[in-house]
Chains A and B, each alone.
Chain A
Amino acid sequence: MKLLTCPMNGPRNIDEFQSFGPVRARPDPNATADREWSRHLFRAENRRGVVVEWWRHVPSNYFFLAERDLVSNEIIRTFDASEPRDRA
């Protein structure tokens, strides 16, 4: 069983969570060409290394952020979306 530490509910089985993928910068809808929209919609971070991702604790429907290593699968830190983040 892999544990994920939810900022609100503490360490829980990762089965209780749903991944929503890497955080993407939101383009400015008034100044964005089709090409950038396409990038925003279809290209998520996939480089080997640490990504910042959206996760949801399903039973409590709480969304938060996690830094996770895409190679080792180590969850480096989890935090509330209002907290400052170093990456992405």
Chain B
Amino acid sequence: MPLRLLKYGLSRDYPVSGDIPATPELKPAYDVVIIGGGGHGLSCAHHLAKYHGIRSVAVLEKGYLAGGNTARNTTTIRSNYITPEGIAFYKEGVELFERLSQELDFNVMFSQRGQLTLAHTEATMRSFHMRAEMGKHMGTRTEVVDQKGVEELCPLLNMDYGGALEILGGLWHADGGTARHDAVAWGYAAQASRRGVEIHQRTEVQGFEVVGDRIRAVKTNRGRIACGQVLIATGGMNYDVALMAGVELPIRCYPLQAMVTQPLKPWLHTLVSSVSLHTYLVQSSRGEVVIGGGSDPYQLYSTRSTLDMKEHLAEGAVHLFPFLQGVRLLRQWAGITDMTPDYSPIMGASPLANLWLDCGWGTWGFKATPVAGKRMAQTIADGRVPDILKPFALERFETFRLLNEMGATAASH
């Protein structure tokens, strides 16, 4: 064995410790208890430890790390929403993704290849003009392109000239992109645990001890933990977990299904989405074509897949790119999405003084993993909701100040 290697083998740097330590014993108390070890909870933990010096933090995850919707999403990252409040927030999210690999010292494979959303009707074109103007006003790269523009951006598309689904134009969002979902969660987890955050896998929150307007302790399958502040970031389980604390959120759960094809040579260089076909496609860096995202048409707590939805997605994909018809599907799956009435998240305070919400992420929350974690950490550290989050408060439903992003969400996620 070469001497240099032997020296390294005997040195203190060897063996390299794992990025994410094994689950430790639970302590009796933590300053902050984060419920949910998905991207959002881990991002908040990282920001608390790194930027606010709060290290007595436990992330409680009932299953394995980031095995919820973080593991199931189709990784669309974008800020081409329609409300100014929404665009401002998601824009900050995209900017954080642009620097994320450096921030985490971990390759999250962010690829800012742009997103092309297609219009097959004049009504959709009109809504695109509105979104483009709002986007430009808010400083994002969002513009309407005509048929020629669509063909240039995505030459392999079936334009269906003269057909019932002729592509009339598109919304081109050069800021849009994708990243490796697992890497985002692992990167945050590694950074957070390096700074002392404890990540407890297989630790399920089963109830709360509420005294007056505060949560005194969190009850888990591994024992009771006293807590300073508590954050709920449990993805599809947000309604259930908040209800355990007596907080009823305006959320309904629907399964969202997606699938991927076998790996192909690189041919799809942008994210493509069709509003009318309710289908979107992105080619992963491995070459697989990820096809999403069909919401089941009724409420359900289930992650089963259905043939109906797979047929629907396959039909949309083959319509847009007819040469995909012989391609095999590799995997299919579903996640339970926590849908809000206005397709915007619920972030900020709850009716309990030390319980904070990072909920209602529905079908669109992966792109917000960095920014929601950053801003929720700031909220918890300061005990005060920053301006950028105020519009997303739970009270907006009581004051009828909804943030309607349905049209800018339905087919694009």
Contact = CB atoms under 8 A, between A and B. Distances in A.
A47 B298 contact: no
B285 to A, nearest CB: 36
A61 interface: no
Interface residues of B, number: 22
Interface of A: 1-2, 15, 18-19, 21-22, 34-35, 38, 41-44, 46-48, 51, 53, 68, 70-71, 73
Describe B's contact surface by its main secondary structure: loop
Given A19-B299, A70-B299, 14 more contacts: A19-B298, A21-B252, A21-B298, A22-B299, A34-B398, A34-B400, A38-B398, A42-B341, A43-B250, A46-B253, A47-B243, A48-B240, A68-B298, A71-B302
B51 interface: no
Nearest to B248: A43
Given A43-B250, A46-B252, A70 B400 contact: no
Nearest to B340: A42
Interface of B: 239-240, 243, 248, 250-253, 297-302, 306-308, 341, 397-400
6 contacts: A19-B299, A22-B299, A41-B397, A42-B341, A44-B252, A68-B298
Contact of A35 (B301, B341, B398): B398
A44 B297 CA distance: 15
A73 B297 contact: no
A41 B253 CA distance: 16
B302 A46 contact: no
A70 B255 CA distance: 11
Contacts of B243: 47
B297 A19 contact: yes
A46 B239 contact: yes
Nearest to A71: B301
Nearest to A18: B297
Contacts of A19: 297-299
B397 A42 contact: yes
Contacts of B341: 41-42
B302 A73 contact: yes
Q: Would you list the 4 A-B pairs with minimal beta carbon distance, nearest first? A: A19-B298, A42-B250, A38-B398, A42-B397
Among A15, A35, A71, A73, chain B packs the most CB atoms within 10 A around the CB of: A73
